């Protein structure tokens, strides 16, 4: 589930493991909002989010995979895996990978869309704080999260202004010389870039309905192999607790896909051993003592 970087990279790995893969996506990847990323490995001049997604789709296509446009509406466990519903279709899957991402909370302030369009509304200092070096930075934040983000941005600039809920900005005005932030009390100040530090909302409701454990912020909890608390259900990328970054999504995807492949191999091995045992137990040529031994080994 999900055709962002995590879903596409995992699907590519799984195709190369010669698995049958269905990848569904409803077209709202966070990566689409990246104007130019300078911290994704292998692109010395940076890469735009939509360009990256395009390349990942081509790579998946080369491995024989593709993405189906559609929104997954439910995942229900059944005897041999899951039933995934997309529109009027139901797809049976032995395993499901949730790579559904997260949604940034944007400040509800007049004029914010205009600064977003100019690439001056930022969500993640880890991604692009470096590009804000020496600039006048405004952080629109909430509580401790806002303070932490403002402190982090001091790595890049001495001119960081934190605007908390108490002085909630009324309007941001995008001008050629900079951005004018007008506060509720009528005062205003100028900056070059605005960071939103209002958190994000992980897209984990289907995971929760399927019984997967979430943390207090709604992120899916996984083990070191990207397994959720529900057998057969895996998760990768921004929807998982941790750093919301392209490189992390790629790393999770590689781990999750390899774990899925190995878990399926192990399940197939156990099923075939069980079948051999069952056939041996039903064979009259095998003595009663051997039968008992076999059945004891099997149940043990």
Site for ligand FAD, rule CB under 6 A: 1-7, 24-31, 33-34, 37, 39-40, 71-72, 99-101, 104, 123-124, 127-128, 203, 206, 237-238, 244-247, 249
d(CA 261, CA 172): 50
* Beta strands, E only, 223-279: 233-235
CB of 2 to ligand FAD, least distance (A): 3
Question: Shortest approach of ligand FAD to residue 296 CB, angstroms?
Answer: 46
CB nearer to ligand FAD: pick between 113 and 276:
113
Residue among 146 and 202 whose Cβ is closer to ligand FAD:
202
Residue 236 beta carbon to ligand FAD: minimum distance, rounded to whole angstroms: 7
User: Residue written as tokens 């024989």?
Assistant: 64
CB of 142 to ligand FAD, least distance (A): 18
Judged by beta carbon, residue 34 or residue 193, the one nearer ligand FAD is 34
**Which residue lies nearer to ligand FAD by CB, 162 or 245?**
245
Question: For ligand FAD, which is the closer residue by CB, 203 or 227?
Answer: 203
> For 218-300, where are the E strands, in sequence order?
233-235
Four-point Cα dihedral 32, 34, 40, 43, nearest 10: 90
Report the nearest approach of ligand FAD to the CB of residue 68 (Å): 9
CB of 126 to ligand FAD, least distance (A): 7
Which residue's entry shows tokens 């007008």? 182
Contacts of 291 (CB under 8 A, 6+ apart): 280, 281
Instruction: Determine the distance from the C-alpha atom of residue 31 to the mean position of all C-alpha atoms in its chain, rounded to a whole number.
Output: 10
Q: Which is nearer to ligand FAD, 8 or 150 (CB)?
A: 8
Smallest distance, ligand FAD to C-beta of residue 45, A: 13
Pick 100 or 169: Cβ nearer ligand FAD: 100
Taking the CA atoms of the chain, what radius of gyration do you get in angstroms? 25
- Decide if 154 contacts 211 (C-beta within 8 A): no
Give the containing element (helix H, strand E) for 124.
none
Report the alpha-carbon distance of residue 265 to residue 173 in Å, rounded.
58
Distance set, CA 245 to CA 30, 41, 63, 109, 250 (Å): 10, 12, 25, 26, 9
């Amino acid at each position: 589930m999900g055709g962002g970087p995590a879903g596409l990279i995992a699907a590519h790995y799984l195709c190369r493991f010669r698995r049958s893969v269905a990848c569904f996506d409803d077209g709202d990847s966070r990566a689409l909002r990246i104007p130019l990323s300078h911290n994704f490995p292998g692109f010395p001049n940076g890469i735009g989010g939509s360009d990256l997604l395009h390349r990942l789709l081509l790579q998946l296509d080369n491995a024989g995979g593709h993405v189906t446009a559609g929104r997954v509406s439910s995942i229900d466990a059944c005897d041999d895996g899951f039933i995934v519903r997309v529109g009027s279709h139901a797809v049976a899957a032995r395993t499901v990978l949730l790579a559904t991402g997260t949604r940034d909370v944007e400040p509800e302030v007049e004029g914010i869309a205009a600064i977003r369009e100019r690439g001056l509304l930022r969500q993640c200092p880890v991604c692009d704080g470096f590009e804000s070096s020496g600039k006048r930075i405004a952080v629109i934040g909430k509580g401790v999260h806002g303070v932490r983000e403002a402190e982090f941005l001091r790595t890049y600039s001495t001119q960081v202004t934190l605007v908390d809920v108490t002085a909630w900005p009324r309007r941001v005005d995008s001008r050629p010389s900079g951005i004018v932030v007008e506060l509720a009390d009528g005062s205003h100040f100028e900056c070059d870039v605005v960071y939103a530090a209002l958190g994000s909302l992980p897209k984990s409701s289907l995971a929760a309905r399927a019984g997967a454990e979430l943390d207090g912020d709604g992120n899916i909890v996984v083990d070191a192999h990207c397994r959720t608390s529900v057998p057969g259900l895996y998760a990768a990328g921004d929807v998982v607790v941790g750093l919301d970054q392209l490189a992390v999504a790629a790393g999770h995807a590689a781990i999750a896909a390899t774990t899925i492949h190995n878990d399926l191999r192990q399940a197939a091995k156990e099923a075939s051993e069980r079948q051999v045992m069952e056939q041996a137990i039903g064979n009259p040529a095998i003595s009663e003592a051997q039968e008992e031994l076999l059945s004891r080994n099997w149940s043990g």
